């Protein structure tokens, strides 16, 4: 972690002889005004990239989190000329650490990396990047704004399914990770889940098969009338034996027990490394009950314990976490848990934002990606 009088930068690495992944998070420590905060983060990010030997050729994903996305998104577009071959996404979730906006970035250094835009396939944006023996798609899916939450949710999933079909992909074998953002989650979440359940069942994703690692969280787009939208990460070329859907029944029940449909975590083994994608994880027990009502300190410890057991099922530990996002229902709780985050997730690049979880009693949720350089030569390398 590097701190200055303006920005805080956290960086982690996953290296193998074939290539390196770099995970970064940046936030402003002072309330400078949005324009000043944007310039400070941009300058700090560019300087860190130069220090690490990173450039537009290695930049894969930049995700910005805004305190006021309706007013700030246009300013970002006007002032920050991001790499045209990177996936740029913007989420309306007010940052807790720092002010106005935070940035989460991912770079991949590999001779095999090739990137191209998917605008011709998906008008809302996306890239495909070819790496090692795989092709991965990062895409955003937005609905028509004049529809209900149920209709919008169905539309964004249909958009994703159409994209998969265009690329000879399939939901059950190629969808790696999804993020469903819902405006006013307390009122609109169930409609999103209903649309997702219907489409999943149509494509063979049921409690008897498997689902997709995912986060469903409150978040807005730059269009106020959009009630539900989707970010998706797809990787083509993964064989069934490379993928393990992790469960931990001693700590967490299957999600369908309480009416939703996502995997707790997905473990992927490549020829040169392994990844675990940890879904949004809350303070829950093995029966599906919310633990430690009205006690965010205890909830944070339980979330960390649940993540720890999921990682152990994939032969990893908390020290293998490369990047996390922390969602808080009430940003006023942040001073209470900031020391815990440093204790439980030391040195891990993190973003902490306001994002209400699907049950009001859950005060905190955490997601992340973990990785090691332990692979299996039976499979194609990642890069």
Model confidence pLDDT, tens digit, residues 159-184: 999 999 999 999 999 999 999 999 99
- What CATH fold (topology level) applies to the domain 114-237? 60s Ribosomal Protein L30; Chain: A; (3.30.1330)
Residue 350: C-alpha distances to residues 21, 243, 252 (Å): 16, 26, 24
Q: Grade residue 273 by pLDDT with cuts at 50, 70 and 90.
A: very high
Mean pLDDT to the nearest integer, 306-331: 97
Beta strands at 350-354 and 321-328: parallel, antiparallel or unpaired = parallel
Mean pLDDT to the nearest integer, 117-122: 80
pLDDT of residue 2: 52
**Residue 343 CA to chain centroid, in angstroms?**
22
Residue tagged 């045209």 (tokens): 84
Q: Tell me the two tokens of residue 228.
A: 């539900």
Mean pLDDT to the nearest integer, 265-282: 98
Model confidence pLDDT, tens digit, residues 214-248: 999 999 999 999 999 999 999 999 999 999 999 99
pLDDT of residue 84: 79
Mean pLDDT to the nearest integer, 87-116: 94
Residue 4 has pLDDT above 70, yes or no: no
Model confidence pLDDT, tens digit, residues 32-43: 789 999 999 999
Q: Which of 13, 9, 8, 3 is nearest to 321 (CA)?
A: 13
Identical fold for domains 1-109 and 269-383, yes or no, is: yes
Taking the C-alpha atoms of residue 12 and residue 276, their distance in angstroms, rounded to an integer, is 15
Residue 278: C-alpha distances to residues 129, 247, 324, 337 (Å): 22, 11, 9, 20
The DSSP output letter for 289 is P
pLDDT of residue 1: 53
Residue 302: C-alpha distances to residues 278, 287, 343 (Å): 15, 14, 14
Mean pLDDT to the nearest integer, 309-326: 98
Within 273-363, residue ranges assigned H as helices are 296-313, 334-344
pLDDT of residue 31: 66
pLDDT of residue 262: 97
Mean pLDDT to the nearest integer, 242-264: 96
Q: Grade residue 125 by pLDDT with cuts at 50, 70 and 90.
A: confident
Beta-bridge partners for 234: 137, 175
The DSSP output letter for 286 is T
Taking the C-alpha atoms of residue 352 and residue 330, their distance in angstroms, rounded to an integer, is 11
* Second CATH level (architecture) for the domain 1-109: 2-Layer Sandwich (3.30)
The domain segmentation of the chain, as residue ranges, is: 1-109, 114-237, 269-383
3-state secondary structure of 234: strand
Taking the C-alpha atoms of residue 159 and residue 139, their distance in angstroms, rounded to an integer, is 10
pLDDT of residue 299: 98
Residue 267 has pLDDT above 90, yes or no: yes
- What CATH fold (topology level) applies to the domain 269-383? 60s Ribosomal Protein L30; Chain: A; (3.30.1330)
Residue 83 has pLDDT above 80, yes or no: no
Phi, psi of 291 (to 5 degrees): -100, 145
Residue 212 has pLDDT above 80, yes or no: yes
Taking the C-alpha atoms of residue 53 and residue 22, their distance in angstroms, rounded to an integer, is 11
pTM summary value: 0.96
pLDDT of residue 5: 62
Please state which of the ranges 92-106, 148-162, 268-282 shows the lowest mean pLDDT: 92-106
Beta strands at 321-328 and 364-372: parallel, antiparallel or unpaired = antiparallel
């Amino acid at each position: 972690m590097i701190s200055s009088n303006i920005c805080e930068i956290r960086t982690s690495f996953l290296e193998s002889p074939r290539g390196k992944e770099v995970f970064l998070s940046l936030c402003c420590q002072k309330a400078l005004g949005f324009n000043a905060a944007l310039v400070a983060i941009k300058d700090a990010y560019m300087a860190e990239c130069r220090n690490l030997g990173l450039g537009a050729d290695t930049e894969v994903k930049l995700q910005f989190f805004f305190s006021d996305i309706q007013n700030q998104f246009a300013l970002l577009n006007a002032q920050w000329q991001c790499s045209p071959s990177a996936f740029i996404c913007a989420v309306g979730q007010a940052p807790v650490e720092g002010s106005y906006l935070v940035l989460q970035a991912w770079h991949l250094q590999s001779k095999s990396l090739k990137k191209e835009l998917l605008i011709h396939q998906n008008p809302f944006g996306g890239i495909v990047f070819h790496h090692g023996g795989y092709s991965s798609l990062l895409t955003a899916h937005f609905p028509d704004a004049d529809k209900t939450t149920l209709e919008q949710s169905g539309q964004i999933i249909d958009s994703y399914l159409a994209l998969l079909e265009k690329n000879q992909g399939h939901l059950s074998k190629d969808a790696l990770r999804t993020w469903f953002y819902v405006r006013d989650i307390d009122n609109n979440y169930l409609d999103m889940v209903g649309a997702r359940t219907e489409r999943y069942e149509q494509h063979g994703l049921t409690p008897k098969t498997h689902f997709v690692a995912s986060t469903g969280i409150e978040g807005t787009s730059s269009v106020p009338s959009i009630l539900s939208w989707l970010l998706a990460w797809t990787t083509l070329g993964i064989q069934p034996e490379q993928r393990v859907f992790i469960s931990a029944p001693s700590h967490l029940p299957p999600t369908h027990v309480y009416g939703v449909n996502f995997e707790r975590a997905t473990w992927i083994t490549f020829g040169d490394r392994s990844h675990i994608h940890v879904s949004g994880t809350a303070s829950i027990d093995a029966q599906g009950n919310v633990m430690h009502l009205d006690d965010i300190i205890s909830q944070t410890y339980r979330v960390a314990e649940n993540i720890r057991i999921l990682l152990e099922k994939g032969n990893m530990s908390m020290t293998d976490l490369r990047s996390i996002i922390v969602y808080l229902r009430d940003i006023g709780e942040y001073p209470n848990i900031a020391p815990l985050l440093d204790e439980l997730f030391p040195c891990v690049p993190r973003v902490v934002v306001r994002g209400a979880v699907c049950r009001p009693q859950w005060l905190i949720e955490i997601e992340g990606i973990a990785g090691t350089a332990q692979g299996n030569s039976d499979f194609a390398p990642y890069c």
